[in-house]
Chain A
Amino acid sequence: KAGVTQTPRYLIKTRGQQVTLSCSPISGHRSVSWYQQTPGQGLQFLFEYFSETQRNKGNFPGRFSGRQFSNSRSEMNVSTLELGDSALYLCASSLAQAGDIEKLFFGSGTQLSVL
Chain B
Amino acid sequence: GESVGLHLPTLSVQEGDNSIINCAYSNSASDYFIWYKQESGKGPQFIIDIRSNMDKRQGQRVTVLLNKTVKHLSLQIAATQPGDSAVYFCAEVSGGYQKVTFGTGTKLQVIP
Interface residues of chain A, those whose CB is within 8 Å of chain B, are 4, 31, 33, 35, 38-45, 48, 50, 55-56, 58, 84, 90, 92, 94, 96, 101-109
Contact = CB atoms under 8 A, between A and B. Distances in A.
Contacts of B43: 4, 90, 92, 106-109
Given A33-B98, A48-B98, 12 more contacts: A39-B6, A40-B3, A44-B102, A48-B97, A56-B97, A84-B3, A90-B43, A103-B34, A103-B46, A104-B34, A105-B46, A108-B42
B98 A40 contact: no
A41 B102 CA distance: 10
Most chain B CB inside 10 Å of its own CB: which residue of A39, A48, A101, A108: A101
Query: Looking at chain B's contact residues, is the secondary structure mostly helix, strand, loop, or mixed?
Result: loop
A105 B98 CA distance: 12
Interface string B77-112: 000000000000100010011111111110000000
Nearest to A9: B41
A40 B99 contact: no
A56 B98 contact: yes
B5 interface: yes
Interface string B39-70: 00111111001000000000000000000000
Nearest to A99: B96
B32 interface: yes
A32 B66 CA distance: 28
A101 B98 CA distance: 7
16 contacts: A31-B98, A33-B100, A35-B102, A40-B6, A41-B3, A41-B6, A42-B103, A42-B105, A43-B89, A50-B98, A101-B32, A101-B93, A101-B96, A102-B98, A106-B36, A108-B42
Nearest to B51: A101
